[in-house]
């Protein structure tokens, strides 16, 4: 099945210049994230039960996982194990587009969801 991202509601992130579109199945979810502006993200480190894969398809993003910082560029992939502290800290000068795959699915991100956020903060 092909996903047409334009058919999915755009979810604005509070306080961050990013847009997100969300799709999910029975076993995993996919979040398409578009950051049009370069700069600091100011996202606090967090963790969740879901394991996560991040695929950068355009631009670059700085990312911290388990206190190690990585520069992820177009074509790079990052893996975040379940319960691993992580955050994204900076979007590169050309912006970034990335796909976040989570298993089990992040149903708390589904439009209209009444589930509490799966994100945990220390």
CA distance 90 to 41: 5
Count: domains in the chain: 1
Q: Give the Cα separation of 72 and 33 in Å (integer).
A: 14
For residues 104 and 90, give the distance between their C-alpha atoms in angstroms, rounded to a whole number.
27
Contact 30, 24 (CB under 8 A): yes
List the chain pLDDT tens, one digit each, 122 residues. Answer: 999 999 999 987 776 678 999 999 999 999 999 998 899 988 899 999 999 999 999 999 999 999 899 999 999 999 999 999 999 999 999 999 999 999 999 999 998 899 999 999 98
The DSSP bridge pattern shows strands 10-12 and 29-35 to be unpaired
Phi, psi of 13 (to 5 degrees): -90, 130
The residue length of the chain stands at 122
Is 78 contained in some domain?
A: yes
Q: Is residue 12 part of a domain?
A: no
Q: Indicate whether 62 belongs to any domain.
A: yes
CB 72 within 8 A of CB 56: yes
Is 92 within the bounds of a domain? yes
Res 11: pLDDT? 87
Q: Please check whether residue 39 lies inside any domain of the structure.
A: yes
Which CATH number belongs to the domain containing residue 69 in this structure? 2.60.120.10
- The answer to whether residue 3 sits within a structural domain is no
What is the per-residue pLDDT for 97? 97
Structural domain that includes position 97: 27-108
């Amino acid at each position: 099945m092909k996903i047409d991202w334009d058919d999915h509601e755009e979810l604005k992130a509070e306080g961050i210049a990013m847009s997100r579109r969300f799709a999910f199945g029975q076993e995993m979810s996919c979040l398409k994230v578009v950051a049009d502006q370069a700069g600091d993200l100011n996202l606090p480190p967090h963790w969740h039960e879901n394991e996560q894969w991040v695929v950068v398809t355009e631009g670059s993003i700085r990312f911290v996982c388990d206190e190690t910082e990585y520069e992820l560029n177009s074509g790079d992939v990052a893996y975040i194990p379940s319960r691993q502290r992580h955050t994204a800290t900076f979007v590169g000068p050309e912006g970034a587009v990335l796909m976040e795959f989570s298993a089990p699915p992040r149903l708390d991100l589904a439009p209209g969801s009444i589930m509490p956020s799966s994100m945990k903060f220390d």
